[in-house]
A and B are shown apart, each in its own frame.
Chain A
Amino acid sequence: MPRTGVFVCHCGSNIAGKVDVETVAAKALNFDRVVFSTTYKYMCSQPGQEVIKKAVRDNNLDRIVVAACTPNLHGKTFQRCIKTVGLSPYLSEMASIREHCSWVHTDPDEATGKAIELVRLATAKVRKNVALLPLNIPVTRRALVIGGGIAGIQSALDIAAAGFEAVIVEKEPSVGGRMAQLDKTFPTLDCSACILAPRMVEVATNEKVIIHSYSKIEKITGSVGSFEVQIKKKARYVDLGKCTGCGTCTEKCPVKVDSEFNLRLSTRKAISTPFPQAVPNVPVIDPHHCRYLTLGKCGVCQKVCQAGAVNYEDKDEIIIEKVGAIIAATGYDLFDPKKYGEYGGGRYRDVITGLQFERLINASGPTGGEITRLSDGKTPKTIVFIQCVGSRDEQKGKPYCSKICCMYTAKQTILAKEHIPDVQCYVFYIDIRAGGKNYEEFVKRAQTDYGAVYIRGRVSKLYEQEGQIMVKGMDTLLGEEVEIPADLVVLATAIVPRREARTLAQKIGLSYDQHAFYNEAHPKMAPVENLTLGIYLAGACQAPKDIPDSVAMASAAAAKICGLFSRDFLSIDPIVASVAETCCVGCNTCVAICPFKAISMEIRKDRTGQERQVATVNTSLCQGCGTCLPNCRSRCISLNNWTTDQLYAEVMTI
């Protein structure tokens, strides 16, 4: 005969301020099978848990109901608590009298009445709870890392350092990501490529890391511990094994195309590597522009290749990788300033983006590191930087702050001054956000040591006049408008998720926010986990982020995965569906409806030897969502500890 104890939490004044907790506890004693009840100020606290443990021991309780917050918050706390006194964790229930009651109701009497009912339901359900045993599922101890930028590289290296394999899937021909496009980094002015390249080489040579470059995620199935990943390796037309990276093919190729890596500030060849330090240092042929692949003529690259690596017959290839966990490290794109008609809408050649400025100032960039105007090749003497283009703009852009623009703009004014000693930089800003180690000091240096003039106010309009870009802005501190004839204007455009972020998320079941940034499981307590178990986040795919934050997040995600990989089996909650095979009619409805593809049909022989098909649940895939239950025609599926019988019991007590 079950002996249930009820524990009503005050949660300070969160609950007790509205609900008469003493009455709730007193009423609970009248409920079926309830032999004990009490209240406590903070049930989740150490002394609160001691109250529960003592009551279980003293009263020989075998079921508990905690009336407090939601099971999402403290369900595990109380499960662990009763486990220490020998009770199965699954013989506990929570009645949410805070979120579902005291926080949302105004009338104390009504709130108390509802709290009593919620406790009554929970006691009815817990009576029929079964002492389930946790499920152990095998863990494939390899990780998939989507994206080969600095975040992806860092997490792959950390996972490899712990002895596990990491598989990087990078859509570009080379790993390196955005960091490879940057010139110097704030606030130390380290050369970006110089600090990135060693990591790229390390990741390329690490035997625990597999890199699939120029590849895309096609499909991911499975769940934590055992994902199956379909990867499409795009035809490269150059054999990764044979190519020596000599570069002769690129040199001889006659076709020039706008360079994506240089943001269309220069051209590349139809067979090319994106940048000198590329990993792998093997070119790809662009099939849309290659003369041989489009017209069947040319073939120069194949002729000049000593290694015989060029293969025009190359085809896209599908690879399957099995992994136990996934890191999404897909990075960011930049907001397209074309939306700003008042800034020229892309019509003015001497109005460029911050990332284009990085390429312009980079020694391996389109001008060999000379800052020149795209219109006439002249060296600019006045450069105006405009911050928050697309950021903090609910009308044309995004409502959020892109976080890194204040810092990289300060950096760019410093670099401009170093390249052109007599340049004058102006920065239009709304607020300077320089929170970070040595960041504020860095911005100060831009102003004091490098003479950048900071003007507080947004720019309203840019227009061309006599070969210059006229900048019409406001100095809100002065209270007057300013007009600056600029030779070059640099727009600090907002950070947005990668264009493909949404489609990728839908493919792998990642949750994302309204901007398509990937959601962390909890903004404070689980910042690198996604809500989908086994998927972790690193870098700017979660929110705008600078390099140190991305690297830290990558290491954190890797640590989470190493923890997951530290055991052969993963212990998960046994709240999964199960099928009573004897009454299953094999109608297939549940198979079609399961969002996690956890149910399949199997053949069973009955006593007469006749074969029939019945549904079976793969418990490692089942997330316990319960979708199959109401759709089962023969009512033969049930969810552990959420059986139809239990739900009836709850309803019948009302």
Chain B
Amino acid sequence: MEYAYYPGCSLHVMSSEYDVSTRAVLARLGVTLREIPDWFCCGASSAHMTDAVLTDALPAKNLALAVKVNQRIAVPCAACLHRLKKTDHKLKNDDALLKNVNESIKDNYQGNAQIKHPLEIIQDDLKTEELSEKITRPLNNLKVACYYGCLLVRPAEAAIDDAENPERLDRLMNLLGAETINWGFKVECCGAGMTLAHKESIIGLAGRILNDAILNEADCIAVACPMCHTNLDLYQDQMDLKRKVPILYFTELLGLALGLDYNSLEIDKHIVPAKGMLLEKGLV
């Protein structure tokens, strides 16, 4: 099983631990990732919020570059996934737009990409039994709040799960032996790309999410998006919280369950330390 790999800017430096753990678990599960050599920024929120042309041009060019590596493309960042899938959906359904965009990006994208999030690859491409056989360190006693955010579940054409009550992450965590909580903030927005631009948003939005996870006695929050991670992780010091909550990428939890070395997953890169909690649960 081979995929073209689009890490996106966040995974390049800021959230390189997500990149490391994604590569590690997929390799362990027999999925080969081939990084697209000349990939560049998909435009994230900034493009679609300010410029109609860039909205589609940036993702389209990246798709054109990606399919030269492989038609199947793995995208771990929920924001990149969202932008690439939205543009791809438009291009697949509008020949005139496709022609137009191809002219402006000086390329010839054919609308032939299959874009997937690693969560989908793990759950849809691999057999459940194969995965469970490889679990050497089940996440017993761990209570996880699975947080999906916005861009993985909206809109329908870009979503990987139900818009209101997604369950993919919960299913995976349950398979790994963790308990997941039922809570009301699975798909509430954490502030997305406002991390730097408007901290007030993050403090308010991420704060509410963290508070509900604390109310539900979660040991940690599992995420599948670098922006969600940053927003939930970065400012906990400045929020009015009863306690701090470690934020972990699902790939990190999966990596631990698969018996991968703690240090190799670079979990210590998080602002809110997770090691103490993981030690307590016997997962390190």
Contact = CB atoms under 8 A, between A and B. Distances in A.
Query: Within the complex, are A and B direct neighbours (CB within 8 Å)?
Result: yes
Interface of A: 340-342, 345, 347, 461, 463-466, 470
A466 B184 CA distance: 11
B215 interface: yes
Contact of B164 (A342, A465, A466, A470): A342
A345 B215 contact: no
**4 closest cross-chain pairs (CB), A and B:** A463-B184, A341-B164, A342-B164, A341-B165
Contact of A465 (B162, B163, B165, B215): B215
A470 B184 contact: yes
A342 B184 CA distance: 10
A470 B215 CA distance: 14
Given A341-B164, A464-B184, 15 more contacts: A340-B164, A341-B162, A342-B164, A345-B164, A345-B165, A347-B165, A347-B182, A461-B184, A463-B185, A464-B182, A464-B183, A465-B184, A465-B212, A465-B215, A466-B215
Interface string B171-189: 0000000000011110000
Nearest to A339: B164
Nearest to B212: A465
7 contacts: A340-B164, A341-B163, A341-B165, A345-B164, A463-B184, A464-B182, A465-B212
A461 B165 CA distance: 12
Contacts of A347: 165, 182
Contacts of B163: 341
Contacts of A341: 162-165
Contacts of A340: 164
Contacts of A470: 184
A237 B169 CA distance: 50
A465 B214 CA distance: 11
A485 to B, nearest CB: 12
A466 B211 CA distance: 12
B131 to A, nearest CB: 27
B183 A463 contact: yes
Nearest to A470: B184
Nearest to A347: B165
A465 B162 CA distance: 21
Interface string B139-170: 00000000000000000000000111100000
Nearest to B186: A463
Contacts of B165: 341, 345, 347
Contacts of B184: 461, 463-465, 470
A464 B212 CA distance: 10
| Majority-rule SS of B interface residues | loop
Interface of B: 162-165, 182-185, 212, 215
Nearest to B216: A465
A465 B182 CA distance: 10
A461 B163 CA distance: 12
Nearest to B166: A341
Contacts of B162: 341
B188 to A, nearest CB: 8
Nearest to B165: A341
A464 B163 CA distance: 17
A466 B214 CA distance: 11
A11 B187 CA distance: 61
A347 B164 CA distance: 12
Nearest to A343: B164
Contacts of B212: 465
A497 B184 CA distance: 33
Nearest to A463: B184
Contacts of B215: 465-466
Nearest to A341: B164
A590 B63 CA distance: 61
B161 to A, nearest CB: 11
A396 B193 CA distance: 30
Looking at B163, B164, B182, B185, the one whose CB has the most chain A CB atoms below 10 A away is B164
A465 B212 CA distance: 8
Contacts of A464: 182-184
A390 to B, nearest CB: 15
B217 to A, nearest CB: 12
A480 to B, nearest CB: 15
B273 to A, nearest CB: 27
Looking at A340, A341, A345, the one whose CB has the most chain B CB atoms below 10 A away is A341
A464 B216 CA distance: 10
Contacts of A465: 184, 212, 215
A340 B163 CA distance: 10
A466 B212 CA distance: 9
A345 B215 CA distance: 22
A234 B30 CA distance: 58
Looking at A345, A347, A463, the one whose CB has the most chain B CB atoms below 10 A away is A463
A338 to B, nearest CB: 11
A562 to B, nearest CB: 52
A463 B212 CA distance: 11
Looking at B163, B182, B184, the one whose CB has the most chain A CB atoms below 10 A away is B184
Nearest to A464: B184
Looking at A342, A347, A465, A466, the one whose CB has the most chain B CB atoms below 10 A away is A465
Contacts of A466: 215
Nearest to B164: A341
Nearest to B184: A463
A267 to B, nearest CB: 26
A461 B212 CA distance: 15
A470 B185 CA distance: 12
Contacts of B183: 463-464
Contacts of B185: 463
A345 B165 CA distance: 8
A465 B215 CA distance: 8
Contacts of A342: 164
A470 B164 CA distance: 15
A337 to B, nearest CB: 12
Contacts of A345: 164-165
A342 B183 CA distance: 12
A285 B183 CA distance: 42
Nearest to B182: A464
A461 B189 CA distance: 13
A470 B184 CA distance: 9
A461 B184 CA distance: 9
Nearest to B185: A463
B210 to A, nearest CB: 14
A466 B165 CA distance: 19
B275 to A, nearest CB: 30
B185 to A, nearest CB: 7
Contacts of A463: 183-185
A464 B165 CA distance: 13
Contacts of B182: 347, 464
A345 B186 CA distance: 14
B16 to A, nearest CB: 34
A467 to B, nearest CB: 11
A466 B185 CA distance: 13
B239 to A, nearest CB: 18
A468 to B, nearest CB: 11
B198 to A, nearest CB: 19
B209 to A, nearest CB: 12
B221 to A, nearest CB: 16
A340 B164 CA distance: 8
A481 to B, nearest CB: 13
B3 to A, nearest CB: 30
Nearest to B162: A341
A347 B163 CA distance: 15
B82 to A, nearest CB: 19
A463 B208 CA distance: 13
